[in-house]
Amino acid sequence: MVRTKEDLNQSIKKMNRINAASNTPTAVGTQETTEQQKLQHQLQIFQNSLPKVSQTAYMLLLNECVPLSMAVEKKRGDRALNLVGNGDDEVSQTEGKLEGVHLSPPLDPPSNQLCRELYEADEEKHNRVLDRLRNIGFEIGNKVTELLVFSNNPNLHFKDMDLLSVMKFICRDVWRQMFNKQVDNLKTNHRGTFYLFDYDYKPIQTFALDSESSAKELQMVKPFLEITVGVIKGVLASIGHAPENVVCLASYVDRPEEKPRSSFTKGVSFHVQVTM
């Protein structure tokens, strides 16, 4: 995923210290520039050694989870219907099996069509798709903690962390790893209820339908928030707050006046409730 400037700055500082220790403190004048160059060179090597991935590809993949879940749910539904329909007919069943074994299976419908189908699906199916998405997010969340704690920041001790610090960890580190930014605002009542406000939630920024259908648009974009709901639950679960003790809901909020206008009309708020 994405490393940010601050990570790099920290590493520069570290390297500075190492350099200061290893070199004799007589470096002056002309050597100063070469020192600078050496540092820059080291930074270059360090940056090249970091695992990198295209941000565009990552975002597309993350968003593609929604049509994927819909397609899986749809295929499952079709399979169930087929089994019910052909239960007593041996011949058609084997035919169905043969048809299932395609060398090049037919492509799923395009993502925009799947999103529309998800919007039009009945409530039960809709909920099943959302559950699927939350599960994907949950798995991601579990792994993200692992990654952040053991590869980036071995100094974090969750044992003596209270819930607020854990939420701060989500707002700062998890968000930065996933969306390359921090949560804009965190509110709490100090009794286990937290509101995480993100006024320009990255994955949905360029989503829009035609000019007139804005309520429909908000409804269609809603499933894209569920992955992050799952991520929050997954992170909390990996730190020791069991998923059944955590309630997490996503909703839209208005953007405050001083925030610059961006292409999506609403900000997003994640409401997290933890029972201790």
Partner 1 sequence: MAIYSFWIFDKHCNCIFDREWTLISNSASGTMNSKQTEETAKLLYGMIYSLRSVTKKLSRDDSTNEVRSISIGKYRIHTYCTASGLWFVLLSDYKQSSYAHVLRYIHSHIYVKYVTHNILSPYDFAENENETRGRGFRKISNRNFISALESFLGPMIAQ
Question: Does residue 269 belong to the site contacting partner 1 (CB under 8 A)?
Answer: no
Q: One symbol per residue from 84 to 113: x for binding partner 1 (CB under 8 A), - otherwise; what is it?
A: --------------------------xxxx
Task: Please pick, from the candidates 68, 186, 220, 274, the single residue that binds partner 1 as defined by CB under 8 A.
Answer: 220
Distance CA 74, CA 93 (A): 20
Question: Does residue 207 belong to the site contacting partner 1 (CB under 8 A)?
Answer: yes
Question: Does residue 155 belong to the site contacting partner 1 (CB under 8 A)?
Answer: no
For 148, which DSSP code? I
Residue 144 CB, nearest distance to partner 1 (Å)? 23
Residue 62 CB, nearest distance to partner 1 (Å)? 11
Question: Does residue 209 belong to the site contacting partner 1 (CB under 8 A)?
Answer: yes
Residue 264 CB, nearest distance to partner 1 (Å)? 9
Phi (first) and psi of residue 249, to 5 degrees = -130, 145
Nearer to partner 1, 17 or 259 (CB): 259
Contact 199, 190 (CB under 8 A): no
- Count of C-beta atoms within a 10 Å radius of residue 119: 16
Q: Which H/E stretch holds residue 268?
A: strand 267-274
Nearer to partner 1, 4 or 263 (CB): 263
Question: Does residue 63 belong to the site contacting partner 1 (CB under 8 A)?
Answer: yes
Distance CA 244, CA 208 (A): 35
Contact 171, 228 (CB under 8 A): no
Tokens representing residue 234 in the block:
């997954």
Rounded alpha-carbon distances, angstroms, from residue 153 to 180, 240, 243: 17, 19, 24
Task: Please pick, from the candidates 6, 32, 64, 89, the single residue that binds partner 1 as defined by CB under 8 A.
Answer: 64
Q: How many residues sit close enough to partner 1 to count as binding (CB under 8 A)? A: 22
Task: Please pick, from the candidates 70, 136, 167, 221, the single residue that binds partner 1 as defined by CB under 8 A.
Answer: 221
Distance CA 97, CA 99 (A): 5
Question: Does residue 2 belong to the site contacting partner 1 (CB under 8 A)?
Answer: no
Q: Which of 131, 155, 154, 134 is nearest to 236 (CA)?
A: 134
Q: Which residues bind partner 1 (CB under 8 A)?
A: 56, 59-60, 63-64, 66-67, 110-113, 115, 206-211, 217, 220-221, 263
